[in-house]
């Protein structure tokens, strides 16, 4: 079974600063996806970024980037130039790569990020 | 194209009552799933389906039933609601073999 751990329940960052959210996972699988989801107060789940385990290059989406350390089973999210709209709960998630349909998404417990003026 | 829709948005039940949370999608996705979100526990998988007529249990299935008679719909049934089922419920879908999950807007359920 896979587990995902987010050890920072809450974080705060000032606008325009950079913040890094931590995530570690445990798996015996070799091919998998890792994700960061954002959940703003509206409750909607929004995919921020994904990383395929077979790719050595860290994924980047605009101000969001990851530091993927496969050997250490670590997957942190860096948010640069933080904006007030980044205030949200952030979930790290894991899914085994499977060409079929049965792969399930396993979530961490989340980190609540507050961006302040 | 409505994506993933869930009804109702909010619901209050008394202990022992039954109800069905509805989930519908118009993207022809094979995979559909139900999660519950509780404070400090993230999202946990309740049940999932890989296609019409096929369902299976997730991490926390007790107290919930599902069925999948069509590709579009995946209702979640609470037969006898308990206060422990107070939660926010999300339906999610994706293509077979795909990686991106599409989430519905969620249903906030309170059981008193």
Note the pLDDT tens digit of each residue in B10-39: 999 999 999 999 999 999 999 999 999 998
* A117: confidence class by pLDDT, cuts 50, 70, 90: very high
Q: Answer yes or no: is pLDDT of A98 > 80.
A: no
Q: Is residue B71 within 8 angstroms of chain A, CB to CB?
A: no
Q: Which two tokens stand for residue B28?
A: 């022809």
Tell me if chain A has a CB within 8 Å of the CB of B90: yes
Q: What pLDDT does residue A29 have? A: 87
Strands A3-5 and A24-26: antiparallel
User: What's the pLDDT score for residue B39?
Assistant: 87
pLDDT band at A101 (very low <50, low <70, confident <90, very high): low
Q: Tokens for B4, please give them.
A: 């993933």
Q: Tell me the mean pLDDT in the region B97-110.
A: 92
Partners of residue A38 in chain B, C-beta under 8 Å = none
Q: Does B60 touch chain A (CB under 8 A)?
A: no
Q: Number of A:B CB contacts under 8 A?
A: 54
| Chain B touched by A104 (CB under 8 Å) | yes
Residues of B in contact with A43 (CB under 8 A): 88, 105-106
User: Is any Cβ of chain A less than 8 angstroms from the Cβ of B88?
Assistant: yes
Q: How far is A81 from chain B (nearest CA, A)?
A: 26
Interchain pair A91, B42: CB under 8 A: yes
* Residue A101: closest C-alpha in chain B: B96
Higher pLDDT, B81 or B99: B81
Pair A52, A33: CB distance under 8 Å: yes
Sort out which chain A residues have CB atoms less than 8 A from B88's CB and list them. Answer: 43
**Which residue matches tokens 């496969």?**
A70
- Nearest CA distance, A71 vs chain B (angstrom): 22
Q: How confident is the model at residue A99 (pLDDT cuts 50, 70, 90)?
A: low
User: Distance, in angstroms, between A61 CA and closest chain B CA?
Assistant: 15
User: Tokens 């829709």 correspond to what residue?
Assistant: B5
State the Cα–Cα distance between residues A4 and A102, nearest whole angstrom.
19
């Amino acid at each position: 079974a896979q587990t995902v751990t987010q050890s920072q329940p809450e974080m705060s960052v000032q606008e325009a600063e950079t913040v890094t959210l931590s995530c570690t996972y445990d798996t015996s699988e070799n091919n998998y996806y890792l994700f960061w989801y954002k959940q703003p107060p509206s409750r909607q789940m929004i995919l921020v970024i994904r990383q395929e385990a077979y790719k050595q290059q860290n994924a980047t989406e605009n101000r969001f980037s990851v530091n993927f350390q496969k050997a250490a089973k670590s997957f942190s999210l860096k948010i640069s130039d933080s904006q007030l709209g980044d205030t949200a709960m952030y979930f790290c998630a894991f899914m085994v790569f499977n060409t079929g349909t049965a792969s399930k998404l396993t979530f961490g417990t989340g980190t609540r990020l507050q961006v302040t003026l | 194209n409505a994506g993933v829709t869930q009804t109702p948005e909010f619901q209050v039940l008394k202990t022992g009552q039954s109800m069905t949370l509805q989930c519908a999608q118009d993207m022809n996705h094979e995979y559909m799933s139900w999660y519950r979100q509780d404070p400090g526990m993230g999202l946990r998988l309740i049940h999932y389906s890989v296609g019409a007529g096929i369902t299976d249990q997730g991490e926390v299935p007790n107290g919930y039933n599902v069925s999948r008679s069509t590709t579009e719909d995946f209702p979640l049934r609470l037969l006898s609601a308990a206060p422990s089922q107070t939660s926010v419920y999300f339906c999610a879908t994706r293509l077979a073999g795909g990686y991106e999950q599409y989430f519905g807007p969620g249903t906030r359920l309170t059981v008193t």
